[in-house]
Structures are given as structure tokens and as C-alpha cells.
Amino acid sequence: MRVLFVVQRYGAQVPGGAELAAREFATRLAARGHATEVLTSCAVSYVDWANAYPPGTSMLEGVLVHRLGVSEPREDRIFGPMHARVPFGRHRVPPFLQRDWMRVQGPHMPGLVPWLREHATSYDRIVFFTYLYFTASAGLPAAAGLVPTVLHPTAHDEPPLYLPLFDLMFHLPSALAFLTEEEAELVADRFHTHIPSTVTGLGVELDTAVSGTDVAAYRAGVPGLGERPYLVYVGRVDPGKGSVELFDFFAAYKRRNPSDLALVVVGDPVEPMPPHADIFITGFVPEAEKRAAMAGGLALVQPSYFESFSLVLIEAWALSKAALVQGRCDVLEGHARRSGGGIPYRGFAEFEAAVDLLVGDPGLAAALGRQGRRYVERHFDWDRIIERYEDFLDRIGAPAPAVSP
């Protein structure tokens, strides 16, 4: 099967859950013998979409990658106020302004639509990742109808999802693919679509043993951390990710409960954060170091309000680590309840009580970690996911009735 993935960013240096998911699916389909290609931008960072990779075609992990240049970087001076008015504004804004917001949000690639119109029919399936960006917003209407298409919305319950701009998009693809049941429910509630769909999930590597030496080396590499127990947060430091709230909660916790407990943040702040004696921000680190950071922690904290899957949570469970998760995010709460591997908290009082529970009972953290690991083994094995995904892609091409999950 010849499959094209269309995604806003793609590459070994590109962080981001949806982008990683696209890369995993593309790479693993290629490894199973499918002619897999990717159409993407030259950007690495979504903050400005600056062209970092050269335009043109290259090969990455067995996947042919076509990169188109971004015509203009995202300027916060323009995008910031627009973002505040369009998805976050109190009033409905006219369609032209929604379209302008999409263009300014980017990555604006004038070559995208002509490229798809010219090449779409040479593929058996075209798969779009992430509803939110220009790549799907402009690309899906260009390809739909020419070839069977799949949209992985990676949707969160966030204000942009409610923009009328997206009403049509969710009715265009031949099928929808979701990362969790909660994401599927959210999209069904919002768009009332009746097109075929499946819940794919995402896989993780289960052979992720981290040695004590790796953890010790990680601790030694974080000045001032020493042997202190710590909670770990992995991801972007961004208000939308709940990390700013986590900073506030943790600082309040430490004021009220003095101890040597620390918070280690593995990720780059979108905006500079005020320094705190108990919070260690290490920035993005290589994969092995990230695993060591998670393995050395008491528990992972996942405070995000907007998750369609949370790969980092699954990775922590693969390492048999307990988790504290945002209870006001249906996806995270669903994972925690199904797995028995995490404690969902709602608000500071519950956060404080949950941290107390974990700090006061190391056996509890270990037991939660074990249950998390079992959950991952049951549901997130890549081989099984890719087999189901191949079957799904096969079936959406057939003129037969609906595809069932």
C-alpha cells in the first residue's frame, strides 16, 4: 500500500505528541513493507514555524519525507491578539477572521494544496495528523474525494475545537482515527459525524529497562538535585499543558509542607518561569535521559487539561512508575481509572492530598506503578496496534459498509 502522511512537523528533532505519533505510524508501516511517505513543513518549532530543515525530499527511517517551506513565520505580535479573540474570544467571530487566524497560526505553506492536487491520486491512502493546523485545514479539502483519507484529529477539549471553521473538516475524511475512547466521544459530541472510525491508541517500547547507574548519572547531571525525592513532569512548560498550574500547586505545596521533595521538569518553557529552589528545569533531553529522569522519580505528574492520549504517561507506566494526573481531563482520568496506575486530582486540595498519599506510602507508589505497567502491556503493544491499523487502512478503501473499531 502507498500511504502518505500529512503532518505539520516531522523529524528526529521534533517534539510534540501528535508529531511523534505520526512518525511512529509512518516508520512502522514502512518497516512492514508499505511505501510510506510524509508531506510536511520545514519547521521544527511550532512557536514560530521557522524553516529549519531544507525544502525538498529526503529519507528518514525508511520513510520518504517531502518538505515544503513555510511562507511566513508565526509572529506572536499578530497571532497573540488574534488567538485571544478568535478561539478564546467571548463572541463568535466571522468566518473570514477564523480563516485568517488559521493562516496566521500556520504553518502556512502555499505549496501544500497544489502539491496535494498534483500528487494525491498516486497514493492509496492519505493520512492527516492533527485537526488544528493549516496542514489538515487546507490539505484535507484538497485531497478528500481524490483518494481515501484518514484524519487523526488528536483533539482535546479546547476552545479552538468549537470554532465553526472546523465543522466541515470533520465530515470530509473517509475515516477518523482516535487515540482514546475519550477523544472519540469528544469528537462525536462536537461534530456528530457518522463516518467510519477506529480507536488506534499508541504503542510504547516495553523493553525500557533503566539501570540504577543511568538514574544516578541523571541525578548527578542536575545540579543541586542530589538524592532528593522528586516528582517529574515531562513536556512543554506552557499554560495550556497545565504546567504553569503545576508550578503554582507545587510551590504552594512546599510552602505548606516543608520537606526535601523536589519537582524535576524535563522540557523547555515557552515563557521564562520564575526560579524556585525546589523546581529543577532541565530542558528537553535525549530519550535515554528522559527515561532515567522518569525512572528516578517518585511519580510522574501529568497536569494537562488538553490531552488526546498522553504518550508520556504511558511511557512512565511502561517504567512501572506511579502517576498523578489531571482529573479534569477526561482522557487522563480515563487512563488512570482503567489502569489503576494513577491518582487523578481536581484542584489544589486534592493535589496536596494525593502527593501526601504517595510520599507517605512508598508501597502505594510501587503498586500503582505495577498496575500501570500491566495496563501498558495489555493495550499498547506496537505490533498489535500496527496490525489493527493496517486492517483499518485496508477496510476504508473498500466500498463496503462501515469500519468497526
Partner 1 sequence: MDPPETTPAVGDLLDRLRARVEERRASGAYPPGLEHDLDVHFRHIVEHRPVRNLEALHTAMATFEEGLAFDAAEIPTGSRVPGGTLLHQAAAKLVTRQTDWIVQQLREFAESVRVMLWAMVNTFDDPTHVHAELTAQIDAILDRLAYYERSAADAPMLGEIVRRLEKLEAAETARAERPEP
CA–CA distance, 215 with 262 (Å, rounded to integer): 16
Binding of partner 1 by 348 (CB under 8 A): yes
Binding of partner 1 by 336 (CB under 8 A): yes
Q: Is 202 exposed, middle or buried (0-12, 13-18, 19+ CB in 10 A)?
A: buried
In what order do the strands lie in the sheet containing 125-129? 56-60, 63-68, 35-41, 2-6, 125-129, 149-152, 175-178, 197-199
Instruction: Compute the least distance from the CB of residue 311 to partner 1, in Å.
Output: 21
Binding of partner 1 by 245 (CB under 8 A): yes
The residue among 3, 2, 405 whose CA lies nearest residue 175 is 405
Among positions 347, 362, 387, 391, the unique one binding partner 1 when judged by CB under 8 A: 347
CA–CA distance, 293 with 309 (Å, rounded to integer): 21
Binding of partner 1 by 97 (CB under 8 A): yes
Instruction: Compute the least distance from the CB of residue 251 to partner 1, in Å.
Output: 10
Query: For the range 281-288, what are the long-range contacts, defined as Cβ-Cβ under 8 Å and sequence gap of 24 or more?
Result: 281/237, 282/221, 282/222, 284/15, 288/214
Q: Closer CB to partner 1, residue 221 or residue 362? A: 362
Q: Which 8-state DSSP code applies to residue 370? A: H
Binding of partner 1 by 113 (CB under 8 A): no
Binding of partner 1 by 81 (CB under 8 A): no
Q: Closer CB to partner 1, residue 123 or residue 247? A: 247
Contact set for partner 1, span 213-232 (CB under 8 A): none
Binding of partner 1 by 78 (CB under 8 A): no
Question: With contacts defined by CB under 8 A, how many residues of the chain interact with partner 1?
Answer: 46
Stretch that binds partner 1, among 20-28, 141-149, 264-272, 339-347 (CB under 8 A): 339-347
Instruction: Compute the least distance from the CB of residue 305 to partner 1, in Å.
Output: 5
Q: Closer CB to partner 1, residue 36 or residue 137? A: 137
Binding of partner 1 by 328 (CB under 8 A): yes
CA–CA distance, 308 with 72 (Å, rounded to integer): 29
Q: Is 186 exposed, middle or buried (0-12, 13-18, 19+ CB in 10 A)?
A: buried
Site string for partner 1, 185-204 (x = CB under 8 A): ----xxxx------------
Angle value at C-alpha 31, between 30 and 34, nearest 5 degrees: 40
Among positions 31, 88, 211, 391, the unique one binding partner 1 when judged by CB under 8 A: 88
CA–CA distance, 202 with 239 (Å, rounded to integer): 25
CA–CA distance, 336 with 375 (Å, rounded to integer): 10
Binding of partner 1 by 235 (CB under 8 A): no
The one-letter amino acid code at 385 reads I
Q: Can you give the three-state secondary structure of 219-263, one letter per residue?
A: HHHCCCCCCCCEEEEECCECHHHCHHHHHHHHHHHHHHCCCCCEE
Tracing cell 493535589 back to the chain, one arrives at 351
Instruction: Compute the least distance from the CB of residue 109 to partner 1, in Å.
Output: 25
The residue among 28, 225, 18, 22 whose CA lies nearest residue 132 is 18
Instruction: Compute the least distance from the CB of residue 245 to partner 1, in Å.
Output: 4
Among positions 364, 379, 382, 388, the unique one binding partner 1 when judged by CB under 8 A: 364
Among positions 56, 80, 81, 94, the unique one binding partner 1 when judged by CB under 8 A: 94
Which residues contact partner 1 by CB under 8 A? 87-88, 92-97, 157, 159, 162, 164, 189-192, 239, 242, 244-245, 248-249, 252, 305, 328, 336-337, 340, 342-345, 347-350, 353-354, 356-357, 363-364, 367-368, 370-371
